[in-house]
Structure 1
Amino acid sequence: MALVFWASVGLLVFVAILSLDIMGFFSRGNKFQLEGRTVILTGGSYGMGKELAKMLSQRGANLILVARDPKKLQDALDYAKSSAKNPGTQRFHYISADVSQESENTRLLAEATAWNNGRTPEIVWANAGASKPQLFIEASVETLRQQMDLNYWAAAYLAHKTMKAWLYPDTPYQQGATAEAPRHFIMTSSGAAFYSPAGYNPYGPAKCALRGLADGLRQEMLMYNGARRSNKKTSQAPAPFDIKVQIVFPGTIKSPGFETENQTKHQITHLIEAEDPVQTEVEAATAAMKGLESGKFMTQTNWLTELMRLSAISGSPRDNIVKDTVGQWITSIAWLFIGPDMDGRPWGYGKKEGMPEFKPEKV
């Protein structure tokens, strides 16, 4: 009887904690302060990026947008500027660059730093990316490389250069420098990082790699954050701020990019994702900002990417120990049913339609 009693007490406590957490009682304020700070946002000229730019502006950030098309950049900058929280003091700038090239990341960070009065921007968001869904064997090798360059290397290049600039600047930090607010390096991945269905193989592996980079880089930055608390004197003074690495996982977003994707998407991919939730650009951007403000390492923008995150969380930090642990158990069971259904769609399509005609991409 005693065992049953304590088990019941434990269950009630668990339910109470979970309920309070879901209702926001354990919230500890905004962990993504933006007012007066400078943000670099790549891929900020359209889609979710354009809406993110507006929301960053609304929160008082100085903004540097990066993309390739100057006209779209100017339009996006004007759109963001019109919503500025502090119109008289906020500053806005854009840089036209192809972030899939390493040298362009070097240039844009240098230009952004110069524009920011010689100070490396405090928040850098590698948001650039685009999907070109195709059957794997029909995609050209050139497309496979381009997808990896844009959807993984663009963020990796920028992270590599930003972290060095933050941690080992040309003018070294002084011992005992005044503490500053945390710096944030943010990456936009995709739900495809957790589950990449048939037809997304040019794109999905790059987003999986980005998730891996975020996991490893977050943990690596803990060493530098820990060095700030050390009493040991070294030749190199630590940065007077912590570095937070965060990653966002959008799902399907109804945007110009989505319409472009549908031009190359195979019918089987349409069948597999037929019931997927579709968000507007504003909805996805709002969810991303909410996750960052709550301090999440991983931010999913809809319920489907949340379920995929739970089932694939592995050793990544949990937003909530109770919710995420129980959610992982539940989704592991759910995949016993979801997985066969997902696999059955391409199997059934092939059985019904027969051998598909080979249509290699023309380069």
Structure 2
Amino acid sequence: MAIGLFWATTCLCVLLFVLALDIMGVFSRKNHFEVDGRTVVITGGSQGMGRGLAKLLAQKGASIVIVARNKQKLEDALKYISSAAKNPQTQRFHSISADVTKPEESERIITEVTAWNNGNPPDIVWANAGSAHPTLFLDTPPETLRSQMDINYFAAAYLAQAALKTWIKPSPSAANANPKLAKPRHFIMTSSVVSFVGVAGYGPYAGPKSAMRSLADTLHSEVNLYNGARRKDHINGPPADIKIHCVMPGTITSPGYEEEEKLKHPVTKILEKDDPSQTEDEVAKAAVNGLEKGGFIITTQLLGHAMRASALGGSQRNNWFVDTVFSWVVAVAWLFIGPDLDGKVFAYGKNHGLAASK
């Protein structure tokens, strides 16, 4: 027994050490997400994670287009973001007021950005718009369930269609270009760690975010069709490879989070009481770091890494060794974590009764 415990502890320590090295990028020196001189569109870019992403990518040399509904917030955010530009003389900044829950608005965004970008479509499109309505499922009105699906799933799906349809069109300059030198285009979606683990009180939000993760899995497979077609005929095919990514943050301290706290049922607060949180700059840095390492499903802190490893299923692995071994460890941990979470919800109902759900 003692020898087995020793080797189990040793293996766990080695795993955590390798995981730490992987998170720091030791195993992947190549930058898979170059943004210097490229054009990036970010929805939900006027505050929170979107604003943090826009600022960080501006610091790395990208030209930025942010999208949101509120024009005043867009103007304020654009000043904040442009002040962080790496090359102020060459970088450009633009904002678009749009309701991304409408499919025609996504088409307008891509068309407007292409015209603003001298006839070139954006290189990177980040579907980051979203909002959480964390209430008990039975207490949530049907119209809220629909609106949560609209902003947290359909907004990304509509934008993906608009961007991908534009990206697969042949480029007039492709005939004279070397297809091997074309930098890939990236479509990124911001989902959530609640798509990995069911938590009481997140029913309206978790379903759409889980659908988004499934969409990312599907699109990751589907774009291989277009990427393969480039190899056959780069003149009449897409001018660059297309890559799909899905970022899964946890708790982000932001104005939106403060509003969510007002809605949450007490049992939800109990379940996530000890969860780590990140600022908009911290989550942006972690997300972009994962992209630069070539990740597909990207989590932004250790708890998220563990949740991802426990729920990968058929999703692409970011690192086959770390993800496989980490999933083994987390599978054992869930023998204790799962019953603990369930027990807390059960105990709350037992102590407070059905009235506590209202």
Same fold at TM > 0.5: yes
- In the alignment, does 2:204 pair up with 1:205? no
Bigger shift: 348-357 or 87-96?
A: 348-357
What is the letter of the counterpart of residue 67 of structure 1? A
Q: CA deviation at 1:153?
A: 0.3
| Match of residue 183 from structure 1 | 185
How far has the Cα of 1:178 moved from its partner?
A: 3.1
What SS class does the counterpart of residue 229 from structure 1 fall into?
helix
Shift of 1:172: 6.6
User: CA 1:144/1:37 → structure 2, altered by over 3 Å: closer, same or farther?
Assistant: same
- Counterpart of 1:224 in structure 2 is 226
Question: Helix, strand or coil: the match of 1:263?
Answer: helix
SS in 2 for 1:65: strand
> Separation in 2 of the partners of 1:110 and 1:194?
35
Q: Which residue of 2 aligns with 1:5?
A: none
Letter of the aligned partner of 1:204 in structure 2? A
Q: What's the CA shift string for 1:276-328, capped at 9, x where partnerless?
A: 11111211111011111111111101111111100001121212111110011
C-alpha distance in 1 between matches for 2:51 and 2:27: 31
Give the total of aligned pairs.
Answer: 342
CA contact (8 A) 2:25 2:293 kept: no
Offset at 1:47?
A: 0.7
Residue 348 (structure 1) aligns with: 347
Q: Partner residue of 1:51?
A: 52
Report the CA distance between 1:123 and its aligned residue: 0.5
The 5-angstrom pairing of residues 25-104 of structure 1 reads: 25-104=26-105
* 8 Å CA contact 1:310, 1:331 repeated in 2: yes
Distance change >3 Å, CA 248–CA 20, structure 1 → 2: closer
8 Å Cα contact 1:30-1:294 kept in structure 2:
yes
The question of whether the paired residues in 1 share the 8 Å contact of 2:349 and 2:356 is answered with no
Aligned twin of 2:252 = 253
What CA distance in whole angstroms lies between the structure 2 residues aligned with 1:20 and 1:105? 38
Counterpart-to-counterpart distance in 1, 2:26 and 2:249: 26
Q: C-alpha distance in 1, partners of 2:176/2:325? A: 43
Mapped to 2, the partners of 1:353 and 1:298 lie a distance apart of 38
Q: 1:145 to 1:229 in 2, by over 3 A?
A: same
Q: CA deviation at 1:24?
A: 4.2
Aligned pair in 2 of structure 1 residues 117, 342: CA closer, same or farther (>3 Å)?
A: same
Distance in 2 separating the partners of 1:329 and 1:143: 38
- Preserved contact between residue 173 and residue 238 of structure 1 (Cα < 8 Å): no
**Structure 2 counterparts to residues 104-119 of structure 1, below 5 A:** 104-119=105-120
Q: Does the CA-based 8 Å contact 2:136-2:203 persist in structure 1? A: yes
Mapped to 2, the partners of 1:227 and 1:264 lie a distance apart of: 48
* SS of match in other structure, 2:186: strand
8 Å contact from structure 1 (residues 186, 248) kept in 2: yes
Shift of 1:159: 0.2
Consecutive unaligned residues in structure 2, runs of 5 or more: 1-10
1:26 CA displacement: 2.7
SS in 1 for 2:29: coil
Higher mean C-alpha deviation, range 160-169 or range 61-70: 160-169
- Seen in structure 2, the aligned counterparts of structure 1 residues 335 and 26 have a Cα distance that, compared at 3 Å, is same
Structure 1 vs Structure 2: percent identity of aligned residues? 52
Secondary structure of the corresponding residue to residue 354 of structure 2 = coil
Answering whether residue 141 of structure 2 is matched by residue 140 of structure 1, we say: yes
The letter for the 1-side match of 2:178 is T
Deviates more, 1:26-35 or 1:256-265: 26-35
Q: Which residue of structure 2 lines up, in the alignment, with residue 6 of structure 1?
A: none
Deviation at 1:21, TM superposition (A): 5.3
Q: Is the 8 A contact 1:172 1:237 kept in 2?
A: no
The answer (yes or no) to whether the contact 1:73–1:94 under 8 Å persists in 2 is yes
Evaluate the alpha carbon distance shift between residue 20 and residue 277 of structure 1 in structure 2; reply closer, same or farther with a 3 A threshold.
Answer: closer
CA deviation map 1:146-174 (0-9, x unaligned): 000000000000001110110036x6775
Match of 2:242 in 1: 243
Q: Does the aligned pair in 1 maintain the 2:168–2:239 contact within 8 Å?
A: no
Q: 1:188 and 1:20, CA in 2 relative to 1: closer, same or farther beyond 3 A?
A: closer
Mapped contact 2:136–2:357 kept (Cα < 8 A): no
Match of 1:196 in 2: 198
2: CA distance, partners of 1:19 / 1:334: 17
What is residue 7 of structure 1 aligned with on the other side?
Answer: none
- Structure 1: segments with no counterpart, 5+ residues: 1-10
Cα–Cα, structure 1 residues 325 and 81, in superposed 2: closer, same or farther, change >3 Å?
same
Seen in structure 2, the aligned counterparts of structure 1 residues 146 and 352 have a Cα distance that, compared at 3 Å, is same
Q: 1:82 to 1:312 in 2, by over 3 A?
A: same
The corresponding residue for 1:280 is 279
1:250/1:305 contact within 8 Å kept: yes
CA RMSD of aligned residues (A): 2.1
Distance 1:142 1:327 in 2: 40
- Offset at residue 82 of structure 1 (A): 0.4
